[in-house]
Amino acid sequence: MPLLRVRDLSLTHAGATHPSPSDVSFDVQPGEVVLVLGPSGSGKSTLTLALNGLIPQSVPADVAGTVEVRGRSTVDTPVAELSSDVAMVFQDPDAQLVTGTLLDEVAFALENLLLPVAEVLSRSEQALRRVGLWERRAWNPDRLSGGGRQRLAIACAVAMGSPLIVLDEPTANLDPQGIDDVYDALTDLVASGDRAVILVEHNLDAAMRFATRAIVLDQQGRLAFDGPVAEILREHTEELIAMGVWLPAATLAGRMLRERGVLDAETPLPLTPEELAGVVNGFGTLSERSETTRIERAEGGSKSSPMIVRSRNLSVKRGRAEVLHGIDLDISAGSLTAIVGANGAGKTTLIQALAGVVPPPRNRITIDGIDPGRASPRDLAARVGFVFQNPEHQFIAHTVFDELAHGLRLRGASDAEISDRVGEMLSRFGLEHKADVHPFLLSGGEKRRLSVGTALITRPAVLALDEPTFGQDRARADELLRLLKGLRSEGTTIVIVTHDLQLVADHTTHTVVLADGRVHAAGPTDELFATERLFETAGLRLPALHRALNPQLRGLLTETTR
Amino acid sequence: MTAITSPTATVDPYAPGAPAPARRFLNHLNPLAKVGAVLPAMVLLIFVRDLATPLWFTAIAYALIVIGARLTARTAALLFLAVPLGVIAIGFGFSLWVDASGVDDTAPFLQIGGWTLFSGAVQIGFATALRLASILALALIGGLTTTGPDLVRAGIQHLRVPYRIGYTALAAYRFVPRFGYELSVIRAAHRVRGQHGGRGPFARIARGWGYIVPLLAGAIRHAERVALAMDARAFGAHPTRTERHLVPFRTRDVVFIVLFITASATIFALTFPWQL
Amino acid sequence: MPKTRVLTTRVLLICAAVGVATGLVSAGAGYLSVPVSAAVPVLYGLILGSHVLPGIVAQSLLRVPGVALVAHVLAALVSSAFAPAWVLRYIGTALLIGLIQEGITAIGRYRYWGLGRFMISAVIVGIILAVPIGLAVDLDRFEPWARVLYLVMFIVGPVAWTFIGARIGASLRRAGVATR
Ligand SMILES: Nc1ncnc2c1ncn2[C@@H]1O[C@H](COP(=O)(O)OP(=O)(O)OP(=O)(O)O)[C@@H](O)[C@H]1O
Ligand SMILES: Nc1ncnc2c1ncn2[C@@H]1O[C@H](COP(=O)(O)OP(=O)(O)OP(=O)(O)O)[C@@H](O)[C@H]1O
Ligand SMILES: [Mg+2]
Ligand SMILES: [Mg+2]
């Protein structure tokens, strides 16, 4: 009997018109590591919720077809009973914590199952040791990093002894260190071969380490492919890209090389950075050519554009401690600048000071000709748009139209002008038919576009975004980047804070590296990425691709991915 | 990372009461015993009108706390600074509202122009203030020596509070620092939108109103996710659950209740504060 | 078949979220109550009225039996952890107000969730709170007009806060929160 048996499964959320997933069948055997792929909205999360009966028992939805765990139907076996067979790890580590200490947290499910105290303790100890958290069992989980908390969630799953562990984007909210933490714990778990894992993940680079099989859902939620992961990624590359499914960075790079004729069509596409390095190592000579063009381009970019943001000797206090120490910074008009740095380096503090979100000290900053330390919020809003990480935080009005009109009304624009400019913005962001909808009822991607729209409606010269792609799926991140590119070509200067160095390498013109509240390095992105050990000394880790390749080959790569 | 390291709470509601030496006996009593012992006196105090009875009870409560609980700088400030100041403020405050016609036969306490504050009014004001203070002081006996989780567990183990509600409360402690942080982000976000407009209480209320929907909407979405995670971990599977942290009700708890109620009765008998 | 509950984990946790958020208001009210009692005791009803919020917001948002009481109890338990000195006050008012709000909707067999019903419970809450507190502060000794004002405020307070709470619930429903 397979561990999990899914037959002709269609799930329709209450109020939805189409099922997603739709008519899906597959089996999972012990020891398998199944990667579930599919574009956003294809029903991956919905599918995972059905595997332990949360759908339909906790989340109302229409179920057609069957899901059986060790022969028990998930429709009429209580979730609680299924929990010892199927354990879940969700995306937001914060939303899975219930108790006050690590030990209580792992024991929570076992206590609910009425196990005797001695067994609760021994199982909890085993699980915590397995993820390396036993020493910290008395801690409040708040003290753990995001990666640590996600490891705790894995320990909770392990403690229940479930032979099947389902993880829905367990690393989407984590920084690079946290992602490594989680995958180390998972690699460990899989290595012992005693459990099956079902993993929904957009970040394939890390998952390639141990996935054995891939299941791909298409946009309509139908099963598109099912088979060994390497075979599917290599043989259906084009279909997957067309679907909007993300591939390992190495595969994308290999595909570009193939398009440019550097790699012949016979060579299988690389799936990991190591494989890519092996494939590309033959092309050392090519990289010289690209090296020269790259430098020319960098110079061309920074030639004569005036500086639009300037800070001199900027120090900022938060609470009693000084967080930023004497920052000197210039950002040229029309650039797309990324601010990067390890956790706590002061990135958020810096971008908030520059944009005047938290009033900075006076006479230290000029942005588009004004001092955010003195300017009124209204003047500031006219010159700098700030986009918060969670769009909902900045919505003020009850309709999309009013949301966009707000900034104009504050400045006393006439009704005619307002309806003109709002109309323009609505059509630009594809929100025309949503003008009268409550902003909270938009989809995630639409909310993001609206939040950028509200920041842009007053036509500010500078747009600042704090971790705009954090916790978003790749498709939405990509949509946002296309949007930013368009804005930049119209002359808007863009500053973003991000943890995603692959994004920085691929899309930005300039980079500022912060370390411990000081500028560690600043300059054109290409140059910084070409400098040996610059990011490592700031406590960052380069994207997997960059780590696998030497600087020369890297030059070739930035060339191709642009 | 900004979104997931909510700033460490200044108060950790889960923190176990730091291990108290045996001498601090209040820390070793069942929370329900401390509530049950003081409750009758608190209710009766509402009907008391003299000065002596509330003074007696305040003294007993203070003595118990000073002997039986660990005094931090904060609790000391509460007991010996905040409460006396509150009594003085409320005492005078209330005496201003007392109907002068009932007390105009007492000596004047203060005279401003044609208006007189009679000492009888001051006495009534202070009796009220002391009464409120004594009720508070009794509540502090349990309040200063009980942690939230212990109270919840005691309720589950002895008062048949359904454990699903109790454990929901424990999970909800985690919301507090998170919401506080979200609120500060929402405020900054609205400020950036130029929503700053205007000072004064009305502009402030209007602004505050704007924070409510985003704050609650985010809070409720988070709560829904936590609920799924709890369901997935067999929450509510059985009518009871294994309890590793027992909050026993022992002989000493009974002794405490009996002693305290006897003492209360004695005081009420001695002062006999009701004019029958 | 798995048993179906009225108070699912989801409903319980939403009540907790409502309780915590409205608990922020109660905390503010707690701080205000001493200076207000000292300066203008007759306005105390306005402050105390804010204690109706958890139940009203939960009821007008979820429209499910039991949520008012649960939201109140959870709000009280959470506030108690952060201000243990007020445990009894929090739990007492929570049970009292929660039961009244539940009772009024239960009389309508949980079919009516309009503002009118909420207002009835607000008035009853005001009356029931005014009596013991009036005794505790020795209201008989107040100037007659002050006595009237004091009692009126005990009605106005809960009514005003109930109105606010119902508006919050309606706004949230309009934003599509927690409605399925
Ligand atoms: N609670 C819900 N109520 C109604 N519809 C929903 C609900 N949750 C998801 N949906 C809809 O169901 C479909 C599948 O959503 P699901 O979240 O499963 O997609 P996904 O593949 O996990 O996407 P992503 O990659 O963005 O996480 C989408 O069209 C979504 O809008
Ligand atoms: N309100 C505050 N009070 C006290 N310290 C603060 C406050 N806000 C931030 N800090 C501290 O300032 C430092 C910089 O914080 P900041 O949020 O700017 O870092 P960051 O680079 O954005 O980090 P992350 O990657 O985690 O978002 C951190 O050490 C943080 O603990
Ligand atoms: Mg999903
Ligand atoms: Mg940050």
Sort C143 into a burial class: Cβ within 10 Å, 0-12 / 13-18 / 19+: middle
The number of helix segments (H) and strand segments (E) in chain C equals 7, 0
Tokens of C73: 């109890």
Of all protein residues, the one whose alpha carbon is nearest to atom 6 of ligand 1 is A13
Interface contact B106, partner C, CB < 8 A: no
Count of CA atoms in the C-beta half-sphere (13 A) of B92: 9
Q: What is the pLDDT of residues B30-62, one digit of tens each?
A: 989 998 999 999 989 988 888 899 999 999 999
At B211 the pLDDT is 87
CA dist A227 and A235 (Å) reads 11
Determine if ligand 2 sits within 6 Å of the CB of residue A355: no
At B195 the pLDDT is 60
Determine if ligand 1 sits within 6 Å of the CB of residue A46: yes
At B259 the pLDDT is 95
The nearest CA of chain C is from the CA of A81 a distance in Å of 10
Q: How many CB atoms lie within 10 A of CB A559?
A: 19
Q: Is the pLDDT of residue B276 over 90?
A: no
According to DSSP H, which parts of A302-433 are helical? Answer: 347-355, 377-383, 400-410, 415-428
CB atoms A140 and B196 under 8 Å? no
Average pLDDT, chain C: 85
Q: Among A396, A14, C10, A91, which Cα is nearest to B220's?
A: C10
Using only C-alpha atoms, chain C has a radius of gyration, in whole angstroms, of 17
Q: Is the pLDDT of residue C85 over 50?
A: yes
- Residues near A443 by beta carbon (within 8 Å), at least 6 away in sequence: none
Token pair 């260190």 is at which residue?
Answer: A177
Nearest CA in chain C to B217: C177
Question: What atom of ligand 1 comes closest to residue A476's alpha carbon?
Answer: 26
Ligand 2 pocket: which of A339, A348, A466, A495 to mutate (most atoms <8 Å of CB)? A348
Option in B92, B139, B172 nearest C88 (CB): B139
Token pair 């000493």 is at which residue?
Answer: B252
CB atoms C2 and A77 under 8 Å? yes
The nearest CA of chain B is from the CA of A506 a distance in Å of 22
Q: With contacts defined as CB-CB under 8 Å, which chain C residues touch A441?
A: 175-176
Option in A97, A113, A116 nearest B174 (CB): A97
Nearest CA in chain C to B95: C142
CA dist C55 and C68 (Å) reads 4
Option in B86, B217, B224 nearest C175 (CB): B217
Q: Is the pLDDT of residue C179 over 80?
A: no
DSSP type of residue B81? I
| A85 touches A164 (CB < 8 A) | yes
Q: Is the pLDDT of residue B87 over 50?
A: yes
What are the strands of the beta sheet with A384-387, ordered from one edge?
A: A384-387, A462-466, A493-497, A336-341, A510-515, A518-524
Q: Is the pLDDT of residue B194 over 80?
A: no
CB atoms A438 and C176 under 8 Å? yes
CA dist C70 and C13 (Å) reads 10
Option in A140, A355, A357 nearest B14 (CB): A140
At C180 the pLDDT is 60
Which residues does residue A36 pair with via DSSP β-bridges, in sequence order?
A200, A215
Q: Is the ipTM of this complex over 0.90?
A: no
3-class secondary-structure state, position A165: strand
Q: CA–CA distance from B243 to each of A114, A433, A443, B145 (Å)?
A: 9, 55, 42, 22
- Residues near B25 by beta carbon (within 8 Å), at least 6 away in sequence: B68, B252
Among chain C, residues having any CB pair with chain A shorter than 8 Å are 1-3, 8-10, 174-177, 180
What does the pLDDT average to over B228-240?
Answer: 91
Q: With contacts defined as CB-CB under 8 Å, which chain B residues touch A396?
A: 190, 193, 195, 210
**Cα–ligand 1 centroid distance for A400 (angstroms):** 22
Token pair 């005619």 is at which residue?
Answer: A416
Token pair 């900004």 is at which residue?
Answer: B2
Q: CA–CA distance from B248 to each of B26, B33, B155, B165 (Å)?
A: 14, 11, 11, 20
The nearest CA of chain A is from the CA of C10 a distance in Å of 8
Q: Is the pLDDT of residue B192 over 60?
A: yes
At A289 the pLDDT is 42
3-class secondary-structure state, position A463: strand
CB atoms C20 and B219 under 8 Å? yes
At A216 the pLDDT is 95
Nearest-ligand number for the alpha carbon of A21: 1
DSSP type of residue A370? B
At C141 the pLDDT is 80
Amino acid type, A96: Q
**Cα–ligand 4 centroid distance for A369 (angstroms):** 26
Burial A227-246 (b: 16+ CB within 10 A, else e): eebbebbeebbeebeebbbb
**Cα–ligand 2 centroid distance for A376 (angstroms):** 25
Nearest CA in chain C to A76: C1
Tokens of A341: 């740095």
Low-confidence residues in chain A, pLDDT < 50: 285-302, 560-562
Q: What is the pLDDT of residues C40-74, one digit of tens each?
A: 888 888 888 888 999 999 999 999 899 999 999 99
CB atoms B174 and A80 under 8 Å? no
CA dist A192 and A472 (Å) reads 32
Task: Please state the φ and ψ torsions of residue C139, each to the nearest 5 degrees.
Answer: -60, -30
Tell which wins on pLDDT, B106 or B140.
B140
Count of CA atoms in the C-beta half-sphere (13 A) of A315: 7
3-class secondary-structure state, position A450: helix
**Cα–ligand 1 centroid distance for B230 (angstroms):** 20
Q: Is the pLDDT of residue B233 over 90?
A: yes
What does the pLDDT average to over C23-27?
Answer: 77
Determine if ligand 1 sits within 6 Å of the CB of residue A41: yes
DSSP type of residue B98? B
Determine if ligand 1 sits within 6 Å of the CB of residue A307: no
> For the whole model, what pTM was predicted?
0.88
Question: What atom of ligand 2 comes closest to residue A345's alpha carbon?
Answer: 21
CB atoms A440 and C176 under 8 Å? yes
- Residues near A300 by beta carbon (within 8 Å), at least 6 away in sequence: none
End-to-end Cα, chain A, rounded Å: 49
CA dist A477 and B214 (Å) reads 23
Tokens of B236: 């509510």
